[in-house]
Amino acid sequence: MTALNLLEQTIKVKKYRNSLFSSCTWVLDGGWLVDCGDVEPLLPLLDGQGVRGVLLTHGHFDHIYGLNDLLERFPEARVYCSAWAREQLLNAKLNISFYHETPFVFDYPERIVVVEDGAQVDLGDGNAVTAVATPGHTPGCITWMTDDALFTGDACIPGVRVVTNLPHGDKQLAMRSLEHIRSLAAEGRTIYPGHDVDPSVLTTNISLSSHPNRAPHGEIL
Ligand SMILES: [Zn+2]
């Protein structure tokens, strides 16, 4: 492990709290986002780096509504998500925006990269995040995991009960996923959830996994 630790890279992460339902967009140094709501006020947090990709925790409206705006501004950006979240991106009823005033359908299906449980997304410089399937809140929830961080979306918001009463929610699955997330957190990872009532901008550092091929059966994307 020593060699791995020597290669480990730490990057800066910033929290942005969106105007809709206080959902969080996490901005990772190097041009990566976890989820996407408001775009215009988020831009200064990018420090001029552009956006290379968005890692979606799931496809509910409040975590995706800025994607069309964002991808129009950043033509190179890709969206990484589960197969179920892909369906949500392309269906206003599944992503629940239909029931709000502005139905949202994602305009760039060709820029979606579907990931399976255990897949790793290469963030550049040999650093990666791993997709961990954490279904229940939706069937396609993903927790994005690094060596010391868990971006859990709505599968785990510390101090808040997991919402399972939306269409396709599954309480039993959600409880199992919560246990899984807690076990990963117990290994020394910090949880960065999908909602936060605290309006302050948090800036912190996380360690990325340094070997993109480390997962036993995950694909590298
Ligand atoms: Zn949700």
Give the model confidence (pLDDT) of 6-57 as tens digits. Answer: 456 788 999 999 999 999 999 999 999 999 999 999 999 999 999 999 999 9
Q: Output the CA 125–ligand 1 centroid distance in Å.
A: 31
In a domain, 60, yes or no: yes
In a domain, 51, yes or no: yes
Q: What is the pTM of this model?
A: 0.91
pLDDT of residue 2: 37
Q: Output the CA 73–ligand 1 centroid distance in Å.
A: 25
**CA distances (Å), 52 to each of 27, 92, 128, 170, 212, in order?**
11, 25, 13, 33, 17
Neighbours of ion ligand 1 (CB under 5 A): 60, 154
Domain containing residue 156:
12-198
Q: Output the CA 143–ligand 1 centroid distance in Å.
A: 13
CATH code, domain carrying 16: 3.60.15.10
In a domain, 1, yes or no: no
* Overall domain count for the chain: 1
Q: Output the CA 155–ligand 1 centroid distance in Å.
A: 8
Q: Where are the beta strands (DSSP E) in the chain?
A: 9-17, 24-28, 32-34, 53-55, 78-81, 112-114, 120-124, 127-133, 142-145, 149-153, 190-193, 203-208
In a domain, 220, yes or no: no
Percent of the chain with pLDDT over 70: 89
In a domain, 169, yes or no: yes
Pairwise CA distance, residues 210 & 218, whole Å: 15
Q: What is the DSSP letter of 221?
A: -
- pLDDT tens for 73-111 read 999 999 999 999 999 999 999 999 998 878 999 999 999
In a domain, 134, yes or no: yes
CA angle 204, 207, 212 (to 5 degrees): 145
In a domain, 44, yes or no: yes
Q: Is 159 helix (H, G, I), strand (E, B) or coil?
A: coil
In a domain, 4, yes or no: no
Q: Output the CA 126–ligand 1 centroid distance in Å.
A: 31
Interstrand relation of 142-145 and 149-153 (parallel, antiparallel or unpaired)? antiparallel
Q: Output the CA 59–ligand 1 centroid distance in Å.
A: 7
CB 122 within 8 A of CB 208: no
